[in-house]
Amino acid sequence: MYKILKSYFGYTSFRPLQKEIITCILQKKDTLVLMPTGGGKSLCYQIPALMTEGTAIVVSPLISLMKDQVEALQDNGIIARALNSTNDETADAAIRFECRQGRVKLLYISPERLLNEINFLLKDIRISLFAIDEAHCISQWGHDFRPEYTRLNILREQFPQVPIVALTATADKITRQDILKQLSMRDPQVFISSFDRPNLSLDVKRGYQQKEKNRTILEFINRRAGESGIIYCMSRNTTEKVADMLEEHGISTAVYHAGLSTAARDAAQEDFINDRVQVVCATIAFGMGIDKSNVRWVIHYNLPKSIESFYQEIGRAGRDGLPSDTLLFYSFADIVLLSRFANESGQQELNMEKLKRMQQYAEADICRRRILLNYFGESMEHDCGNCDVCRNPPQRFNGTILVQKALSAIARTDQQIGTSTLIDILKGAASADIIERGYDKLKTYGVGRDIPARDWQDYLLQMLNLGYFEVAYNEKNHLKITEAGKKVLFGHEQAQLVVIKREAYEAKNKQKKKRAEPQAQALPMVFENENDQLFEALRVLRKKLADQQAIPAYIVLSDKVLHLLASSKPVTIEAFGEISGIGEYKKERYGKDFIKVIRQFVPQSE
């Protein structure tokens, strides 16, 4: 087991549960594996496949996922193939031939195709195991339901001797039980690993308006020159606007949403995977087919509709385990729109509840990671040190007067205004609408002049979350004072608001290099004596080698391996092969090229 781990994959130790899972599969037991994205699920069936005679059949729902896995395996010197609709007849025939000869160790196949082949090819070859990847697709309750998956129960019937391993990153109980039942698993062993992703930093920005959001995003990306990231937006329209904004500032960006043609979507995905664009602006439609290990950051331009969606989307960053950043923007308008969607959805109560939990996360004043893990039924004993609340705990002040100003303006307009008019009144804006409706004569007109409008946005969001007023979604989003609000308005209760902290960008820029320090305890790895220029040179070489073979750069070597090379600077092939993540095949194939570059940075070695 360890020998294969080292020689093919270049690793010396297993991640939590991997060894137990592999042992279980080798004992021919049916197994269910629940691990977060990036947890290392693939090795769990790939190693047994390599240790057992015959071919492992891997059922995978998406062509892009198959392609990625097959390329990665081949680049580790393992014979892997994929049968799917992109192959022509000749390619298929060749793969079938190789399978019959027993040469293929892992055969990736779509569920439709599997059902077609079940009485032909699969009967002719020796099957070591079945791996069902993205197994949550079997469940109608999940978010990626695929009807073909429900017919996979045929496997247990037709191949009673072959172990089945189902793998997924979706942990909820109903899905889990559905998988076991629908695959007719025999006395299944279930492995659930922690869903914590300590390498992902968590950050929330409340009440930013578009201009400020955009500026923050630009600063954020500029601090991460050349590093891949995804920006999730609520609407198709927004994805395009944000992409235009980035392009204007010289950041190469693709757009991905369900309104585009399949060809356009595929092109966007390919460009992103192959580092031809740095950023993708996307709706939730994007991501399932993305195995790219070096996505370094994920931004949510709008609040997601549930914690599940949020966690899945940020999970696409940092699969390689390196520190990666996530940033969530959260505005009044998001809440208004998402509440409307939830109310109009078939499952109003459920969706409103999910949105509430998401909102609570965004509003949290305790460690955000604790909230996330708690949501998934895991408890964490300590604060994470890698979220904005841990790094910068919110401070409160007595905001009673602010709340009273806002609520009294709402009351004096007979609760017939939304937030933007409210802010206009508080700021004493002389817009036509205000004058026409006579709001400039109100006693509260201009009482909030001293506070910037963007801060009012923030405070109003806080007041909404504290329950001082509600938004009447069926009345043009007008604000209605609640009982709790009245108590503050009439001075029976005090209101505590959170102090708004705006970032000083310049100061942060200077601290760029130090960024990782305060989080060090939470981060898995520090690269000592890393030479940044060498890293860049290695990155260039990696891209060249990748382009030559028409495979993504992260398949040649992961970002983590590049960092290790740039810090330990091996100058012999042997030393190169000792780096974690470099197996025999990569050592032979790439060692010489990389060493040549490294030597230029280590003069004494020449």
DSSP secondary structure, 335-352, as one string:
HHHHHHHHHHSS-HHHHH
- Residue 11 binds which one of Zn ion, ligand ADP, none, with CB within 5 to 8 A depending on kind? ligand ADP
- The minimum distance between CB 141 and ligand ADP, in angstroms, equals 21
- Residue 296 binds which one of Zn ion, ligand ADP, none, with CB within 5 to 8 A depending on kind? none
Between residues 347 and 392, which has the closer beta carbon with respect to Zn ion?
392
- The minimum distance between CB 181 and ligand ADP, in angstroms, equals 23
- The minimum distance between CB 463 and Zn ion, in angstroms, equals 25
Between residues 320 and 334, which has the closer beta carbon with respect to ligand ADP?
320
Tell me if 200 contacts Zn ion by CB under 5 A: no
DSSP, res 59: E
Between residues 35 and 425, which has the closer beta carbon with respect to ligand ADP?
35
**Residue indicated by tokens 């004992």:** 27
Size of the site for Zn ion (CB under 5 A): 6
Between residues 42 and 477, which has the closer beta carbon with respect to ligand ADP?
42
Between residues 2 and 141, which has the closer beta carbon with respect to ligand ADP?
2
Between residues 297 and 332, which has the closer beta carbon with respect to Zn ion?
297
- The minimum distance between CB 15 and ligand ADP, in angstroms, equals 4
Q: Strand 496-498 to strand 396-398: parallel, antiparallel, or no bridges (unpaired)?
A: antiparallel
- The minimum distance between CB 316 and ligand ADP, in angstroms, equals 10
- Residue 162 binds which one of ligand ADP, Zn ion, none, with CB within 5 to 8 A depending on kind? none
Between residues 75 and 334, which has the closer beta carbon with respect to ligand ADP?
75
- The minimum distance between CB 201 and Zn ion, in angstroms, equals 9
- Residue 390 binds which one of Zn ion, ligand ADP, none, with CB within 5 to 8 A depending on kind? Zn ion
Cα–Cα–Cα angle for 103, 105, 107, nearest 5°?
105
- The minimum distance between CB 539 and ligand ADP, in angstroms, equals 17
Tell which one of 152, 317, 335, 387 touches Zn ion (CB under 5 A): 387
- Residue 555 binds which one of ligand ADP, Zn ion, none, with CB within 5 to 8 A depending on kind? none
Of the listed pieces 14-22, 164-172, 211-219, 362-370, which binds Zn ion according to CB under 5 A? 362-370
- Residue 569 binds which one of Zn ion, ligand ADP, none, with CB within 5 to 8 A depending on kind? none
**Residue indicated by tokens 């060090």:** 520
Token reading at 325: 């950043």
Collapse the DSSP code of 152 into the 3-class scheme (helix H, G, I; strand E, B; otherwise coil) and give the result: helix
HEC string for 419-440: HHHHHHHHHCCCCHHHHHCCHH
Tell me if 384 contacts Zn ion by CB under 5 A: yes
Residues that bind ligand ADP (CB under 6 A): 11, 14-15, 18, 35, 37-43, 293, 319-320, 558
Question: Which residues lie closer than 8 Å to 18 by C-beta, 6 or more apart?
Answer: 40, 43, 44
Question: How distant, in Å, are the alpha carbons of 5, 81, 275, 289 from that of 69?
Answer: 16, 9, 18, 11
Tell me if 522 contacts Zn ion by CB under 5 A: no
Rounded CA gap, 91 and 82, in Å?
10
Contact yes or no for 308/326 (Cβ under 8 A)? no
CB atoms within 10 A of CB 326: 26
Of the listed pieces 185-193, 209-217, 359-367, 538-546, which binds Zn ion according to CB under 5 A? 359-367
- Residue 38 binds which one of ligand ADP, Zn ion, none, with CB within 5 to 8 A depending on kind? ligand ADP
Q: By CB neighbour count within 10 A (0-12 exposed, 13-18 middle, 19+ buried), where does 517 fall?
A: exposed
Question: Which residues lie closer than 8 Å to 189 by C-beta, 6 or more apart?
Answer: 24, 29, 30, 31, 32
* Residues pairing with 300 in the sheet: 232, 328
Collapse the DSSP code of 297 into the 3-class scheme (helix H, G, I; strand E, B; otherwise coil) and give the result: strand
- The minimum distance between CB 357 and Zn ion, in angstroms, equals 17
Amino acid identity at 100: R
Token reading at 533: 């220029």
- The minimum distance between CB 40 and ligand ADP, in angstroms, equals 3
Contact yes or no for 217/242 (Cβ under 8 A)? yes
- The minimum distance between CB 76 and ligand ADP, in angstroms, equals 9
- Residue 367 binds which one of ligand ADP, Zn ion, none, with CB within 5 to 8 A depending on kind? Zn ion
Of the listed pieces 146-154, 384-392, 534-542, 583-591, which binds Zn ion according to CB under 5 A? 384-392
Contact yes or no for 61/133 (Cβ under 8 A)? yes
Of the listed pieces 107-115, 238-246, 366-374, 520-528, which binds Zn ion according to CB under 5 A? 366-374
Tell which one of 127, 364, 390, 409 touches Zn ion (CB under 5 A): 390
Tell me if 367 contacts Zn ion by CB under 5 A: yes
- The minimum distance between CB 547 and ligand ADP, in angstroms, equals 21
Sign of the alpha-carbon torsion through 409, 413, 419, 421: negative
CB atoms within 10 A of CB 338: 22
Contact yes or no for 455/500 (Cβ under 8 A)? yes
* Residues pairing with 232 in the sheet: 282, 300
User: Can you give the binding site for Zn ion, defined by CB under 5 A?
Assistant: 367, 369, 383-384, 387, 390
